[in-house]
Amino acid sequence: MDHTDPHDENVYDALATADEDGRWAFGTGFDAGDAEITAPSPEGVDRADLATYCLMLADDALIASQRLAGWTTKAPELEEEVALANIALDLLGQARVLLSRAGHLGAAEPYRVGPQDDEDVLTYFRDDRAFRNVTLAEADLGDFGRTVAWVLVFSAWRLALMQRLTGSRDPVLAAVAGKAVKELTYHRDYAAQWVLRLGDGTELSHARMQAGLDGVWPHVEELFLAHDVERRLVEAGVAVDPAELRGDVDAVVAQVLPAATLTRPETPAVGLVGGRGGRDGVHTEALGGVLALMQSLARAHPEATW
């Protein structure tokens, strides 16, 4: 094919005719990042702890991604739908690598029912109590205002976490974090722009933006609580202490809210149950609905391959 004048030649045409099979059939047989995922756990690091920590960070992204995907076909504008789907896709990508890593460390075995890859076993065949995500990830996204408040808090927190995780002794966590930092930075930018626009907009948009922020706020405190697994892995140089992240998140909140004429909410935090929260598998009612939507098809046809 002659490519001397690209304006006369639609380069995309070649894609339609090149080969018929295999193209665009995404989601089949993905074994993410084999170069790193099969690395042994770093010396002196408990394998089960590392698997659990990978699940925690994977589940945050997986459940958040599933929530955001709920906007597809329903967002106020096509551009925002594409944006939210893009953010969901980035988070899903982060989740898949972390799930595969957790699976490599043995986390998928108790749930295996068929021929699926580790990441599918962990996604589709675990019950709610086995999910380790923070409850913010599963929280109802409500309207668009509440969604952008949620994206702002979630991405500011996860960015602070991933930035520190680039120095992890575990090569997979460090590698995932290196990519995630770039992605979360523009997720946070996107959300901040909308919080600003809606907060400092009309009387109605301001009221709904404030209500959205108030609705998300009860889940913020949990983001800074360390689980025993996290504490042990912080000692081992693998994990990040969630308490360290408060300063970064507070700084973003303190920068955006006044500019958006919004008030820092004082809504009380979602209480832990007997000292246990999302990291222990103790979730809010909301997770059940998320999992039903995400898992029911795979559970109805556990032997299906796709």
Partner 1 sequence: MVTALVDAREAAERVVDPEMPMLTLADLGVLRGVETAGDGTVVVTLTPTYSGCPALEAMRDDLRAALQDAGYDAVEVRTTFSPPWSTDWISDEGRRKLAEAGVAPPHRIGPKAAGAPIPLTLAPPSQTVPCPQCGAADTEEVSRFGPTACTALRRCRSCAEPFEHVKEI
Q: Name the site residues for partner 1 (rule: CB under 8 A).
A: 6-7, 11-12, 14-15, 18-19, 22-26, 28, 30, 32-36, 79, 82-83, 86-87, 89-94, 96-97, 156, 159-160, 163, 166, 171, 174-176, 178-183, 185-186, 188-190, 192-193, 196, 248, 251-252, 255-256, 259
Question: For 211-247, what is the HEC assignment?
Answer: HHHHHHHHHCHHHHCCCHHHHHHHHCCCCCCHHHHHH
- In angstroms, the CA 32 to CA 34 distance is 6
Q: How far is the CB of 228 from partner 1 (least distance, A)?
A: 27
Q: What is the token pair recorded at 205?
A: 């948009």
Q: How far is the CB of 282 from partner 1 (least distance, A)?
A: 28
Q: How far is the CB of 48 from partner 1 (least distance, A)?
A: 24
Cβ proximity to partner 1: between 188 and 219 the closer is: 188
Cβ proximity to partner 1: between 241 and 248 the closer is: 248
Which residues lie below 8 Å from residue 195, measured CB to CB, with a gap of 6+? 148, 149, 152, 209, 213, 256, 260, 262
Cβ proximity to partner 1: between 185 and 295 the closer is: 185
- In angstroms, the CA 212 to CA 142 distance is 8
Q: How far is the CB of 63 from partner 1 (least distance, A)?
A: 15
Cβ proximity to partner 1: between 3 and 274 the closer is: 3
Q: How far is the CB of 117 from partner 1 (least distance, A)?
A: 13
Cβ proximity to partner 1: between 29 and 268 the closer is: 29
* H helix or E strand, kind and range, residue 95: helix 78-104
Rg over CA atoms, the chain: 20
